[in-house]
Amino acid sequence: MPELYSAEVGQQILDNYQEAEIPEVHKELFHWAELFTQRSWDMSAQDLQRLHTYGLTDANIVGWAQAACLQTWFTMGAEGGGVPLDSDAGMQPVFQKPREFYTQAPEGLTAAEPKRPNFHAPDSAEAVAWVATDGDSEEYQQAAAWAEARYGFVPNLLQALSLPPEFFRRHTLALELLERPQTESLSPRQHAMVRALVSTLTRCQYSADTTRRLVASACAEPGLYERLTEDYRQREWAPVDRVILDFATKVARNAYKVTEDDAQRFHEVGLDDEAYVDVLNTVAIQTSFDRLANSLGVRPDPRPLLPRV
């Protein structure tokens, strides 16, 4: 990362970014990222309008949202995998605190308890999101053709990401990976359960219909979606399902609290490391897309986002 701040200002940001000696627009960025990370369901069109007053364009804001989406995946991968810091990759720890500071922190250091969906529809009946779209770029045209062939329509989420367009090749790959488990260790039923649970935790109306239909198509188990989305902790589950759901919840809410005990619990119910990585990535991709949709006010698609074949 280019050097923007002195060490002293960097410490001020870590202590309280609102009081740090940084430009006001940077404080707005930190506030926006805080909402994106911790309460994306509370974001509104007014949040974006306030950013416009600082000279930020819709393209800037969509760029922020896409960068935040990618960083969410990286962060969950790092914390979920428990990988050590790099000694030779030119990366330094930012917070200067041991991992135990996070894993032993009180529950809810960054995440709040979900209560209800909180969707703010775009102002215009025709708008797909709170931001402008641009269908002219070559990258968008390629992504739209890919989506038409795969889903039979162009999802509102892809349309909302057309400013700027360079992230499409990553997003289309991530959407493909999200369609089904990537290992033999995780069943389609378990994969669908994880996606439905995560979209409840993120209170993402954009994904709700898709994950409901995915659960229904993955298994003929009446009431499963409701059991997942109406506080699964109060219901009876097979031990293997409970381990997966508890882990998915921890990653989606507090990835910094994951420890090696979580991987051990997978092993105790007969799941392997491949299943662990499959669940971790399903949570990370679903969460990052849900936050992206919440932050840009993307209107739900007319039908579920599932491949035609």
Among 3, 7, 84, 309, binds other proteins (CB under 8 A): 84
Q: Is 180:286 a contact under the CB 8 Å cutoff?
A: no
Does residue 73 bind other proteins (CB under 8 A)?
yes
The kind and range of the H/E element at 47 are helix 45-52
Does residue 71 bind other proteins (CB under 8 A)?
yes
Residues 34-53, mask of contacts with other proteins (x by CB under 8 A): x-xxx---------------
Does residue 188 bind other proteins (CB under 8 A)?
no
Does residue 132 bind other proteins (CB under 8 A)?
no
What interhelical angle do 45-52 and 58-81 show, nearest 10?
120
Backbone angles phi, psi at 233, to 5 degrees: -65, -20
The answer for residues whose C-beta is within 8 angstroms of residue 33's C-beta and 6 or more apart is 64, 68
Buried b (16+ CB within 10 A) or exposed e, 47-78: bbeebeeeebebebbbbbbbebbbebbeebbe
Long-range contacts from 112-116, C-beta under 8 angstroms, 24+ separation: 112/38, 112/39, 114/41, 114/200, 114/201, 114/202, 114/203, 116/203
Does residue 7 bind other proteins (CB under 8 A)?
no
Kindly identify the residues of this chain, within the stretch 237-276, that bind other proteins according to CB under 8 A: 254-256, 258-260, 262-263, 273-274, 276
Least distance (Å) between residue 180 CB and other proteins: 11
Does residue 140 bind other proteins (CB under 8 A)?
no
Does residue 231 bind other proteins (CB under 8 A)?
no
Does residue 192 bind other proteins (CB under 8 A)?
no
Kindly identify the residues of this chain, within the stretch 148-187, that bind other proteins according to CB under 8 A: 164, 166-167, 169-170, 173-174, 177, 182-183
Among 12, 44, 50, 81, binds other proteins (CB under 8 A): 81
Does residue 106 bind other proteins (CB under 8 A)?
no
